[in-house]
Amino acid sequence: MEGRHVLFIVLAIVILVIAPMMFLFHDELGTQSSREVVIYTSVDQVYSEPVFFEFEKRTGIHVRALYDVEAAKTTGLVNRLIAEKAHPQADVFWSGEIVQTMLLEQEGVLGRYDSPSAADIPPQYKSPNGSWTGFGGRGRVLLINTQRLGTTPAPGSIYDFFDERYPAGSLGIAYPMFGTASTHAAALYAVLGRNEAQAFFNRLSDRGVRVVDGNSVVRDLVANGQLTFGLTDTDDACGAVERGAPVIIVLPDQETTGLGTLIIPNTVAVIAGAPHEQEARQFVDYLLNRDTEAQLVQSGWIQIPVREGGIVNPCMNSTGIRMMNTSYSEIFPNLAQSQQDLREIFIR
């Protein structure tokens, strides 16, 4: 073989094989800064990514984020964290809800950290042993398409899913085994008791209420007029309002005799044995900062700030909300049972 052929082959190998691999793996080969933090988050990428960019800009710490998909909201990440418990890959878990975080606490996945940024957060939003901290909440609301509703009175309670004035095929909920819908189901178990809560969901299923694979799907179907109303989160509902859809948001069961509205806070926690603990704590401090909470309210992810006064929600009035008469520590023990029961009702 001629020398120039050998040279050509060697050059081709360098260019085609080694160069892309060097580029691909330059972080792991240590040619860049090694300060990084790995964050598993169930918060929609649209909202969480700007927070990560801002944190990177301020601290120089590289954020490696792992997002989840709508159909597996939170549950997929939680199971992954439990599977990785012996060899944690993540440093921080940022969830858009609370009950799955409490599950991780129970499994011993979370470390302990009392962030100075959380000093002004009310105690009911913090873990008693410092495993997690809650901030900025979303509410479970009814999103109603006014065009499709017409002259029929607007619903005001989750029990209006059984009202014959609203055809069952025009009503929707997200699968109550995942994400905030799962938390809401566990809350109903806590407030109503297992039997009554099971009966509630059985009746939903028997009636033929549409069950779809996420809160954003409920939002889209209501906004597009394919559903009259649905049960979703305030961030999805406000998104539809902002896009000019013909919808209104109703906080359900606000009467004095009603169940109240479930408020679900975001939660953040440092993972036990996190590979980058210092950086993890820095990120938690940043996330729990009042300014970051205000930023998330402005971006539309949070509608109900946990801090008193000062942070205005452009989408809806978040003051004076009558919350469900239960605590998160009462909701959590009902999670597993509710998920099991609901899997039987809605998947099998």
Partner 1 sequence: MHSTIHGKVFSGRIVRFMILLLLLLPILLPIGIILVLFCTSLVRGDPGVTTQLAWSGRSGLLLVKSTVYAAVCAVSALLIGILYATAIPRFSPRVSRAMIVLIIALLPIPPYIHALAWNNVLSAFNTLISGTSYQPFALQGWVMAWWVQVMAFLPFACLIGIIALHAISRDLIDAARVASPDITVLSKIMIPISYPVLSAGFGFLFLLGITEYSVPSLFSVETYALDIFAAFSATNAVAVACATALPLIAVAVCVLVFCQPGFRALGEFPGWTGTGSSPLQDWPAWFSFLQFSVVILIILQVGVLVFGTAGSMGSLPGIGAAISTSGREIAYSLEIGILAVLIGIPLAVGIVSLIPKGNYMKNVFWMVVTLSLAIPSSLIGMGLLTLFATTTIGPVIRLLLPVLAGIVRFLPVAIIIISAQVHMIDPVLMDAARFVGDVGSASYRRVVLPMVAPGIFIAAVFLFSLTLGELGATLLVAAPGHQTLTMKIYNYLHYGSFSAVAGLSVLMAGITIIITLLTLFGIGMWIQRFRLFGSDAHD
Contacts with partner 1 by CB under 8 A lie at 1, 16-17, 20-21, 23-25, 28, 36, 38-40, 44-46, 49, 53, 62-72, 75-76, 79-80, 82-84, 86-87, 89-90, 175, 177-178, 212-214, 216-217, 219-221, 224-226, 239, 243, 339, 343, 346-348
Decide if 109 contacts 81 (C-beta within 8 A).
Answer: yes
Min CB(156)–partner 1 separation in Å = 26
Closest approach of Cβ 42 to partner 1, in Å? 11
156 vs 225, beta carbon nearer partner 1: 225
Could you tell me the smallest distance in angstroms from the CB atom of residue 219 to partner 1? 8
The nearest distance, CB 299 to partner 1, in angstroms, is 12
315/300 Cα distance (integer angstroms):
8
Residues facing residue 248 across a β-bridge: 144
Nearer to partner 1, 11 or 21 (CB): 21
Reported as type and span, the H/E element at residue 141 is: strand 133-145
Residue 67 CB contacts under 8 Å (≥ 6 apart), including other chains: 41, 42, 44, 45, 48
Q: Which residues contact 251 (CB under 8 A, 6 or more apart)?
A: 139, 141, 261, 321, 322
| 240 or 259: CB nearest partner 1 | 240
Give the type of residue at 29. L
Shortest approach of partner 1 to residue 66 CB, angstroms?
Answer: 4
First to last CA, the chain: 66
Q: How far is the CB of 40 from partner 1 (least distance, A)?
A: 7
CA distance 265 to 223: 25
Q: In which element (H, E) is residue 10 found?
A: helix 3-13
Rounded Cα gap, residues 51 and 189, in angstroms: 34
Position 105, amino acid: E
The residue (of 16 and 119) whose beta carbon lies closer to partner 1 is: 16
- Give dist(CA 137, CA 106) in Å, integer: 22
Smallest distance from partner 1 to CB 21, Å = 7
Q: Which of residues 26 and 112 has its CB atom nearest to partner 1 in the complex?
A: 26
- Amino acid residing at 4: R
Nearer to partner 1, 47 or 159 (CB): 47
Q: How far is CA 156 from CA 66, 109, 271, 291, in A?
A: 37, 39, 40, 34
Instruction: Tell me whether residue 101 or residue 261 sits nearer to partner 1 (CB atom).
Output: 101
